[in-house]
Amino acid sequence: MRSLLFVPADAPGKLDKALGYGADAIIVDLEDSVAPQRKEAARRGAADFLGAAKRGGTRLLVRVNGLGTGLTDADLDAVVPVRPDAIMLPKAEGGASIVHADAKLTAREALHDIAEGTVGIVAIATETAKALFLAGTYGGASARLLALTWGAEDLSAELGAEANRDSEGNFLDPYRLARTLCIAGAAAAEVQALDTVYVDFRNDTGLRRECEAARRDGFTGKLAIHPGQIATINEAFTPTPEAIAKAEAILAAFTAAPGAGVVGIDGVMYDRPHIARVERLLARARAVGLGPATSKP
């Protein structure tokens, strides 16, 4: 998933159009974009949308309210029957939260005759202070876990901070740490790392810069809040023809020299850890319909 577009679940006008913007995933939000008195209407909106949506390539996620809110069970009761591809779990605190959510999902899948494990989990892994210390504990928690992402808004409130970005718009240290822990936690758990939202939604230059930095550091997708952000995000996280060609060259060099620990290509050394890296890149390319160049006639 390169781009994941948030849509408030109590906004039918936005939901109606959500599938038309080219996002790889839609996140129907029951949490922060929905006022407390609107939660029930939002649950109905989410269920209606998922029930009616044509299932094409776009993944359909629902962000439920966090496990500490007392709202999660009613959220899941409303949406699991209409089979979201995944739930997004905010304020996750390590692998234990995933085990907890997994159990809730398993019970509801059983009740509704849905194959166990159908509904995945994407966790927001850095929204509480405690969560930062647990970012390395997601591995092995549940096969449902698809990705980790991070957030700076709730964390800044929790830390009692006055701001999360400096005057130039760069994240301050505590949030850079959260971002890094998300990348490392996702890699440790062998799941996708997704960069957080860029809230200045009319600033395409700033969004592009943040996407480039995210890709450079190991994120393979980014959350969006506005349809105008999708094209930029998709472009930034689609492997380029050059990157695909290079990945294939590295694989070919290792294939041609079985048993070699290192190979040299164009004056640069690559060792075996690069194999896994380029295989992941090629898998991402295939996922968006970009076949390997070598398979072309």
Footprint on this chain of ligand COA (rule: CB under 6 A): 5-8, 13-14, 17-18, 29, 32-33, 197, 225-227
Q: DSSP string spanning 31-76?
A: STTS-GGGHHHHHHHHHHHHHHS--SS-EEEEEPPPTTTT-HHHHH
226 binds, among Mg ion, ligand COA, none (CB under 5 to 8 A by kind): ligand COA
Please name the helix (run of DSSP H) or strand (run of DSSP E) that holds residue 149, with its range, or none.
strand 145-149
Size of the site for Mg ion (CB under 5 A): 2
154 binds, among Mg ion, ligand COA, none (CB under 5 to 8 A by kind): Mg ion
Task: State which residue, 5 or 233, has the beta carbon closest to ligand COA.
Answer: 5
The structure tokens 């060792």 sit at 271
Q: Nearest CA to 148 among 104, 196, 113?
A: 196
Q: How far apart are CA 25 and CA 42, in angstroms?
A: 19
Task: State which residue, 86 or 88, has the beta carbon closest to Mg ion.
Answer: 88
Task: State which residue, 14 or 144, has the beta carbon closest to ligand COA.
Answer: 14
Q: Nearest CA to 123 among 143, 104, 95?
A: 95
CB 153, min distance to Mg ion, A: 6
Q: Nearest CA to 145 among 178, 177, 174, 187?
A: 187
Number of Cβ atoms within 10 Å of the Cβ of 85 = 19
32 scored as a contact of Mg ion (CB under 5 A): yes
Task: State which residue, 18 or 119, has the beta carbon closest to ligand COA.
Answer: 18
Each residue 228-257 as x (binds Mg ion by CB under 5 A) or -, in order, gives ------------------------------
CB 28, min distance to ligand COA, A: 9
Residue type at 220? T
Task: State which residue, 8 or 95, has the beta carbon closest to ligand COA.
Answer: 8
Coil, strand or helix: which one is 214? helix
Each residue 113-152 as x (binds Mg ion by CB under 5 A) or -, in order, gives ----------------------------------------
